[in-house]
Amino acid sequence: MTNAPYCWEVRPFQPDDASQLVDIFRRAVLAIDDCFYTALERETWASSADDHEVFQQRFLSTKPLVVRSPNNCPIGFAEWREDGYIDCFYIDPQWQGKKVASALLLAVEAAVRELGATRLYANVALNAQGFFSSHGFIKGSTNSIKRNASVLINNTMYKPL
């Protein structure tokens, strides 16, 4: 699926995407502004991708949707489940603010609708809540995730379909 006039493509994961998706994940997390998460919190979060083999196996299992740039490089991805749960949703920092995330979210929504899901939902990082709200998601519960010495806060958000 292409998105004119931006000329990117949303397509299923391919095994050779894995290392680039891990890189996008790390760079996107580390680029989050200090007003949302501290440097220690971001580094703790990003370190979950230190074992590339684990992420490779995860991607083979979750089969994310991948956004590719005009020069055919991955610039974002979303892991999702048939019930409408969005697990990971990351855009390369250089491509943020250019409607890549909107195109990816539309593709996820179309995929889960086709499978009969009645809602989308995700545990959304503080920095991404404005984006999800602008796409019709409603804030639910607040969550605390303990990772090493850090506690990361996010909110469950959902969108009826």
Whole-angstrom distance, CA of residue 121 vs CA of residue 74: 24
pLDDT tens for residues 22-75? 999 999 999 999 999 999 999 999 998 888 888 888 998 888 999 999 888 999
pLDDT at residue 150 greater than cutoff 90: no
State the pLDDT at residue 6. 63
State the pLDDT at residue 25. 96
> Which residue, among 136, 141, 144, 140, has the nearest Cα to 161 in the 3D structure?
136
pLDDT tens for residues 83-111? 999 999 999 999 999 999 999 999 999 99
> Which residue, among 111, 75, 112, has the nearest Cα to 95 in the 3D structure?
75
Domains in the chain, CATH or no CATH each? 2-117 (3.40.630.30)
